[in-house]
Amino acid sequence: MLRHSVPVLAVCTVFAIAAACWAAPGPELLDLMQEELDRSMANLAGASDDPMFYLQYSITEVHSVSLGAFNGGLEAPDESDRRFLDVDVRVGTEVLDNTHEIRGGSWRDNYAPPRQIAFPLEAEPAAVRAALWSETEYQYQKALERLTKVEANRQVMVEEEDLSNDFSPADPSRYSEPAVRTSVDTDEWRGILKRVGEEMARSEFVLTSRVGLTLEDRTTYMVNNEGSRLQHSNYYHRVSLSVSGMADDGMRLSRHETYSAASADHLPDEETLEADAARLVSELAALIDAPVVEPYIGPAILRNRASGVFFHEIFGHRIEGHRQKSESEGQTFTKKVGQQILPEFISVYDDATLEQFNGIDLRGYYKFDDEGVPAERVTVVEHGVLKSFLTTRSPIEGFPRSNGHGRRYHGHDVVARQANLLVVSDSIVPYERLREMLIEECIRQGKPYGLVFDDISGGFTMTGRGGPQAFKVLPLLVHRVYADGRPDEIVRGVDIVGTPLTSFSKIIMAADDPGVFNGTCGAESGWCPVSGVSPSLLVTEIEVEKRQKGQDKPPILPPPGHGGEL
Amino acid sequence: MRRAIPIAVVCFVLVVPLSLALAQGEDDPLFRAMQDELKRSTKGLSIESMPPPYFLSYRIHDVESITVRARYGSLVQTEDNERSYLYIDCRVGDPAFDNSGFVGSWQDIYNVRSDLVEEDDYDVLRHQIWLRTDAAYKSALENLARKDAYRQSHPTKEEIPDFAPAEAFVAIGEPVRLDTEPAAWEPDVRAAAQALQEFPSLQDWQVTLTAVAENERYVNSEGSRHLKGAVYTMIEVAATAQSEDGQRLTSFLRHVARGDDEPPTGSALVGEVREMAAELEAVLAAPTIDEYVGPVLFDGFASAQFMSQLFAGQLAPAKLPLVAQDWMKQYLPDPKLAGRLNRRVFPEFVTITDEPSVDVWEDVRLVGHQTVDDEGVPCQDITLVEDGRLVALPMCRQPTKKIGASNGHARTFENQWTASTVTNVFVRTEKSKKDLVKELRSLARDFDNEYGLLITRLDEPSVSNHYRWTEVSEDSRPLLTAPIAVYKVDVKDGTLEPVRGLVFDELSIRTLRDVAALGRDTRAWNVLQPMGIEGVTYPATIVTPSVLVEEMELTSGTAQEPLPLSGRPLAGM
């Protein structure tokens, strides 16, 4: 078995805690974790015929603040400090262990229900040790139980296609950095949110509006029996604006804007928020009056952020490592390494080491993944040719080592996840030229118009074999660009649908305007912060279908203060 | 100061002129928003050819809370929180047949309340009430049509009205605030958790302090209007361990206090915690019993649990909703006593009342105390059981075949259900026995038993399920939960010996008729009363003496789990 070593990062030895509300000296906590890990290994490693060969303790410390104004009224502020424990146990051997896929059963056979284990906030040694001990015993017993099921499942099922090991060792990582506790002037921010919120709520057609600020500091303390010892932090701060309304036909419509930052200093100022709030309200008004698009196939432009979401949903999830190994997955790209899967001018990377792009903080940035492996930049596609997948410590055929993409939300099992997915084009034109090319493509195809997708909220994609290998993404703002020169027109009520291989083959040009979307992705291992960077893309053909819409009539009475008063 | 502000004195006026009612609390922006939108909606809310609402009510429930939790001797959570919720009861049709009482979909069972903003901003609140009223009205129209269609395909012999009229009632109290903060409780919670470190056999434990101040503002289209507030403080301690054969035993103690009263703190709390742990350790080492048939004495807290689960929890709701599909019934309450009105349910010497008017009983503030219920009806003291016969039920405004009016016992829950509930339940007898242990031994002798059973604490699944390794199905909830602290009482000399591993067998509601005697040790227990839907409870008080049951069957039944392979690391390691 080919194994690659992972370089050990330089150790940073700064251990200050800034204004923490609890006594949380990192080294002391890590020392306690290490001592209890050693004790557990000594007690449990040989306690069964199936040895425990891997043990990892991770504590996720979360400080969060949430402020908001709904319909212009202030919400109660929230602030919390919590710690959560994850214990990862592997019994058996690196070839076959308790994490091996069980085939033919239910989804729950392979993904345990999320388990939120409250962990001591204080540096109380007996409490810390007891909490670690208790969860280790539980996870150890569950691991033995599952290994028995794995072995039985293998006896009754045919041989698997991917015979890779279940586990790949990694060189120990040792790193520590100070955890910073983010604070903002709460009164000042409540004032900003109130003023912006009132402005957004002022228009009669705005049914609901919200402006919110969330600050989240996440620090991970991690040790394992390979000798890794980590303390590292990420900061996920966001300001979000949203407005919603309803068209006369009952369709609910909304506009959103989100600003992500890794530092409170990078959050937008009030002037920016006011301007964007006004824009959202204006776009909502246009959407409410906009015509509904009928199902359509034709040329389109995916604007940069929308394209980033599109690639994340349609492409990114299909290059996650565990989907190449699982017998229940569709494995769109598993056997296509070395083959052309995208146009030659497109390359795709997933770079978890990238902190910013064009000055914008990326939410997908981290130093180590949730298996203690240093983050890496992975070349997934080079000039259209598939090169690699995003991997964890569960090897897949041809990729025996982790490239630092094992991620989870605390309480979940780790799987391969995207971080910062970068779509890079060698062939670019200014956006205005891309728009001209859209019109030219419309004329060439005899289409009266093309579509421009300015904003996409997200979507879902089916990667399993149980269903079609199809996707649906949910545009929020779409323009119709007429071939005959009429002004652009906002339209509503469409979703993009399709199948991945066909869709990627339709990309013919990119613009010189790479843009960033920052979001949170939900999958088997819970919610993970992610980013996507992509230029605007011109596609010769995209299919849209009618969106499912609500059937409710608009409110019977006018809003209070706008009529119907006694 | 960390103590709670006492509950405000409530002034109430029955059938007040509307002008006077409006005057009360008119400066309150919430009331103004509720009242103005109520007036606008009752006048103008209608869709052509569809009926307008015949009844509309708004209830705003403000909840201010703190939580301090320690596990293994360290704090794991210390937070405060403020939330505000809007509940709307919009009825279309008429009182004889309206949209209520029909479960057509999953959402009707778990219909989550609406959040409101914290800020008392009149315009913002009205806007939210307006949108929610619009949705509630449209939903009510749809539900009325579905219910009507169901009725046509499932005709019933008797038509019971859906809604009972009530006179307007106004009771405006002063709002309460939570005059405490998490930091004030952290030392007590931490100390109680650290005290349990002394018990090496314990595997896990936690101590939780919750303090809540809640205010309810209510208006309806009949002219009722109230503001009521209450402050509760609760401490709960739970600890789990395993016996040598792998049986999991989880014990707990809980104190619920209202207003000025507070749960034990400091050394008093630590003392109680140690007692609980010592009892659990004694039970761990106790022998098991395969089966038992004979008399059982429910003593102390177990007597309140017996009455809470087997009696109070089986009274309501008096009338169950119609369900569109049979599978939905498993998620609904299944009260065993509600249909036994005017029948004997206890022996003749037992009388039970439900008295919401009682504020304090023997220096204990009762958590069930109320003057007005959640439907704006003044709370009435009622006799539930008279000389052993069930003569009344707690009632909300949903009539039954035999009871047509509310007696002010409605409570609205998080899923927006309004159900009949108990408040302060008093169990009384004029034929109490001084020494129930002696009576237990005597009865056991009649059974030719060498011992009788004395139970001081029953399991609380909401506590113990947290520590179980296997998931527990919702339909496995028994009428009476398994005993945690059980003692054999020797017939000859009265000595006590702990035993473990028993669950009640062949238990039915008829067990209440087998109550042989009540003691003279009556005590008030503030409890979390199960509502009948899994995990939903409310504060109520059970005032009861010890209860001796003539004959019960128990069998071996508690599941076993793998034992830990290493010992818990102890303090000082």
Q: Is A89 on the interface with B (CB under 8 A)?
A: no
- Whether residues B187 and B313 share a domain: the answer is no
Q: Which residue has the higher pLDDT, B402 or B422?
A: B422
Largest Cα–Cα distance of chain B, in whole Å? Answer: 80
pLDDT, tens only, A120-150: 999 899 999 999 999 999 999 999 999 999 9
Structure tokens of B3? 């103590």
- Whether residues B532 and B450 share a domain: the answer is yes
- Catalogue all structural domains in chain A, each as residue range(s) with its CATH number: 17-289 (3.30.2290.10), 296-546 (no CATH)
State the Rg of chain A over Cα: 25
Predicted local confidence at residue B17, as pLDDT: 40
- Whether residues B103 and B191 share a domain: the answer is yes
Average pLDDT for residues B545-567, to the nearest whole number? 91
- Whether residues B164 and B45 share a domain: the answer is yes
Distance CA B164, CA B509 (A): 29
Contacts of A552 in chain B (CB under 8 A): 135, 138
Distance CA B511, CA B172 (A): 43
Structure tokens of B506? 């062949």
Nearest Cα neighbor of B111 from B78, B135, B95 is B135
CA distance A235 to chain B (A): 21
**Is the model's pLDDT at A20 over the cut of 50?**
no
Q: Is the dihedral of CA B134, B138, B140, B141 positive or negative?
A: positive
| Core vs surface per residue A335-358: b (16+ CB within 10 A) or e | eebeeebbbebbbbbbbbbbeebe
- Whether B127 and A122 lie within 8 Å, measured CB to CB: no
Q: Is A191 on the interface with B (CB under 8 A)?
A: no
Residue B547 lies inside a defined structural domain of this protein: yes
Amino acid at B319: K
Predicted local confidence at residue A396, as pLDDT: 94
Question: Strand A360-361 vs strand A385-386: parallel, antiparallel, or unpaired?
Answer: unpaired
Q: pLDDT band for position A498 (50/70/90)? A: confident
- Whether residues B337 and B216 share a domain: the answer is no
Contacts of B131 in chain A (CB under 8 A): 207-208, 555
Predicted local confidence at residue A104, as pLDDT: 85
Q: Which residue has the higher pLDDT, A358 or A325?
A: A358
Percent of chain A's residues with pLDDT above 70: 95
Task: Write the CB contacts of A485 (distance below 8 Å, at least 6 apart in sequence).
Answer: none
- Whether residues B363 and B236 share a domain: the answer is no
- Whether A566 and B43 lie within 8 Å, measured CB to CB: yes
Q: Nearest by CB to B74, which of A69, A120, A140?
A: A120
With CA atoms as reference, the chain A residue closest to B76 would be A120
Testing the interface with B: which of A134, A145, A198, A200 to mutate, by most B Cβ within 10 A? A134
Contacts of B36 in chain A (CB under 8 A): 560
Q: Which residue has the higher pLDDT, A453 or B324?
A: A453
Distance CA B3, CA B261 (A): 9
Write down the mean pLDDT value for chain B. Answer: 91
- Whether B568 and A133 lie within 8 Å, measured CB to CB: yes
Distance CA A472, CA A317 (A): 13
Residue B147 lies inside a defined structural domain of this protein: yes
Give the ranges where B285-390 is alpha helix by DSSP (H).
Answer: 301-310
Minimum mean pLDDT among A325-329, A509-513, B100-104, B374-378: which range?
Answer: A325-329
Residue B561 lies inside a defined structural domain of this protein: no
Predicted local confidence at residue A3, as pLDDT: 29
Predicted local confidence at residue A500, as pLDDT: 77
- Whether A557 and B570 lie within 8 Å, measured CB to CB: no
Predicted local confidence at residue A565, as pLDDT: 61
Scan for tokens 């008429």, then name that residue.
B94
**Is the model's pLDDT at A170 over the cut of 80?**
yes
Q: pLDDT band for position B504 (50/70/90)? A: very high
**Is the model's pLDDT at B19 over the cut of 70?**
no
Q: pLDDT band for position A27 (50/70/90)? A: low
Distance CA A363, CA A354 (A): 10
Q: How is residue B520 annotated by DSSP?
A: S
Q: Is A559 on the interface with B (CB under 8 A)?
A: yes
**Is the model's pLDDT at A6 over the cut of 50?**
no
Average pLDDT for residues A217-223, to the nearest whole number? 98
Secondary structure element (H or E) that encloses residue B232, with its range: strand B225-242
- Whether B125 and A69 lie within 8 Å, measured CB to CB: no
Residue B497 lies inside a defined structural domain of this protein: yes
**Is the model's pLDDT at A83 over the cut of 50?**
yes
- Whether B76 and A120 lie within 8 Å, measured CB to CB: yes
Q: pLDDT band for position B130 (50/70/90)? A: very high
Distance CA A327, CA A343 (A): 28
Predicted-complex ipTM score: 0.89
Q: Nearest by CB to B570, which of A72, A76, A126?
A: A126
Q: Residue length, chain B?
A: 573
Structure tokens of B446? 């009649």
- Whether B127 and A560 lie within 8 Å, measured CB to CB: yes
Q: Is A75 on the interface with B (CB under 8 A)?
A: yes
Quick one: A269 exposed, middle or buried, by C-beta within 10 A (0-12, 13-18, 19+)?
Answer: exposed
| Phi, psi angles (nearest 5°) of residue A288 | -60, -35
Residue B273 lies inside a defined structural domain of this protein: yes
Testing the interface with B: which of A38, A40, A71 to mutate, by most B Cβ within 10 A? A71
Count up the domains in chain B and report the number: 2
Predicted local confidence at residue A157, as pLDDT: 85
Contacts of A47 in chain B (CB under 8 A): 565
Q: pLDDT band for position A7 (50/70/90)? A: very low
- Whether residues B318 and B184 share a domain: the answer is no
Number of inter-chain CB pairs under 8 A, A vs B: 154
CA distance A363 to chain B (A): 27
**Is the model's pLDDT at A58 over the cut of 90?**
yes
Instruction: Provide the domain limits for residue B35.
Output: 11-282
Q: Is A252 on the interface with B (CB under 8 A)?
A: no
Q: Assign A483 to helix, strand or coil.
A: coil
Structure tokens of A508? 């013919």
pLDDT, tens only, B34-85: 999 999 999 999 988 889 999 999 999 999 999 999 999 999 999 999 999 9
Residue B552 lies inside a defined structural domain of this protein: yes
Terminal alpha carbon distance of chain A: 81
- Whether residues B444 and B505 share a domain: the answer is yes
Q: How is residue B328 annotated by DSSP?
A: G
Q: Assign B331 to helix, strand or coil.
A: helix
Largest Cα–Cα distance of chain A, in whole Å? Answer: 81
Tell which of B282, B312, B327 closes a domain.
B282
With CA atoms as reference, the chain B residue closest to A22 would be B75
What's the pTM value of the predicted model, to 2 decimals? 0.90
| Contact call for residues A193 and A68 (beta carbons, < 8 A) | yes
Q: What is the 3-state secondary structure (H, E, C) of B417-442?
A: CEEECCCEEEEECCCCCCCHHHHHHH
- Whether A43 and B566 lie within 8 Å, measured CB to CB: yes
**Is the model's pLDDT at B459 over the cut of 60?**
yes
Q: pLDDT band for position B508 (50/70/90)? A: very high
| Phi, psi angles (nearest 5°) of residue A53 | -105, -10
Contacts of A133 in chain B (CB under 8 A): 564, 566, 568-569
Q: Nearest by CB to B126, which of A118, A140, A560?
A: A560
Q: Nearest by CB to B130, which of A69, A201, A559?
A: A559
Distance CA B194, CA B143 (A): 53
Contacts of B198 in chain A (CB under 8 A): none
- Whether B130 and A555 lie within 8 Å, measured CB to CB: yes
Q: Which residue has the higher pLDDT, B110 or B76?
A: B76
**Is the model's pLDDT at B3 over the cut of 80?**
no
Residue B130 lies inside a defined structural domain of this protein: yes
Looking at residue B183, which CATH number applies to its domain? 3.30.2290.10
DSSP assignment string, A199-265: HHH-STT--EEEEEEEEEEEEEEEEETTS-EEEEEEEEEEEEEEEEEE-TTS-EEEEEEEEEESSGG
Residue B242 lies inside a defined structural domain of this protein: yes
Distance CA A483, CA A446 (A): 9
**Is the model's pLDDT at B248 over the cut of 50?**
yes
Task: Write the CB contacts of B400 (distance below 8 Å, at least 6 apart in sequence).
Answer: B160, B318, B319, B338, B393
- Whether B74 and A124 lie within 8 Å, measured CB to CB: yes
Average pLDDT for residues A315-342, to the nearest whole number? 88
- Whether B74 and A122 lie within 8 Å, measured CB to CB: yes
Percent of chain B's residues with pLDDT above 90: 75
State the Rg of chain B over Cα: 25
Average pLDDT for residues A450-458, to the nearest whole number? 89
- Whether residues B230 and B363 share a domain: the answer is no
- Whether residues B204 and B322 share a domain: the answer is no
- Whether residues B252 and B344 share a domain: the answer is no
Predicted local confidence at residue A8, as pLDDT: 28
Distance CA B358, CA B375 (A): 20
| Contact call for residues A117 and A411 (beta carbons, < 8 A) | yes
| Contact call for residues B549 and B295 (beta carbons, < 8 A) | yes
- Bridge partners, B382 (sequence order): B354
Q: pLDDT band for position A464 (50/70/90)? A: confident
Average pLDDT for residues A352-368, to the nearest whole number? 98
- Whether residues B403 and B274 share a domain: the answer is no
- Whether A555 and B134 lie within 8 Å, measured CB to CB: yes
Q: Nearest by CB to A127, which of B41, B46, B73?
A: B73
**Is the model's pLDDT at A25 over the cut of 60?**
no
Amino acid at A67: L
CA distance A5 to chain B (A): 34
- Bridge partners, A17 (sequence order): A179
Give the ranges where A370-515 is alpha helix by DSSP (H).
Answer: 431-445, 500-504
Minimum mean pLDDT among A178-192, A350-364, A547-561, B143-157: which range?
Answer: A547-561
Testing the interface with B: which of A31, A39, A75, A211 to mutate, by most B Cβ within 10 A? A75
Tell which of B225, B260, B282 closes a domain.
B282
- Whether B73 and A564 lie within 8 Å, measured CB to CB: no
Q: pLDDT band for position A564 (50/70/90)? A: low
Task: Write the CB contacts of A448 (distance below 8 Å, at least 6 apart in sequence).
Answer: A442, A482, A483, A484
Contacts of B73 in chain A (CB under 8 A): 120, 124, 126-127, 130
| Contact call for residues B169 and B14 (beta carbons, < 8 A) | yes
pLDDT, tens only, B182-230: 999 999 999 999 999 999 999 999 999 999 999 999 999 999 999 999 9
- The neighbour count for residue B370, using CB atoms within 10 Å, is 22
CA angle B416–B420–B424, rounded 5-degree value: 120
With CA atoms as reference, the chain A residue closest to B572 would be A126
Nearest Cα neighbor of B460 from B440, B477, B437, B438 is B477
| Contact call for residues A408 and A526 (beta carbons, < 8 A) | yes
Minimum mean pLDDT among A166-180, A419-433, B219-233, B549-563: which range?
Answer: B549-563
Amino acid at B229: G
- Whether B118 and A74 lie within 8 Å, measured CB to CB: yes
Q: Is A118 on the interface with B (CB under 8 A)?
A: yes
Q: Which residue has the higher pLDDT, A107 or A76?
A: A76
- Whether A121 and B75 lie within 8 Å, measured CB to CB: yes
Nearest Cα neighbor of B221 from B378, B98, B92, B380 is B92
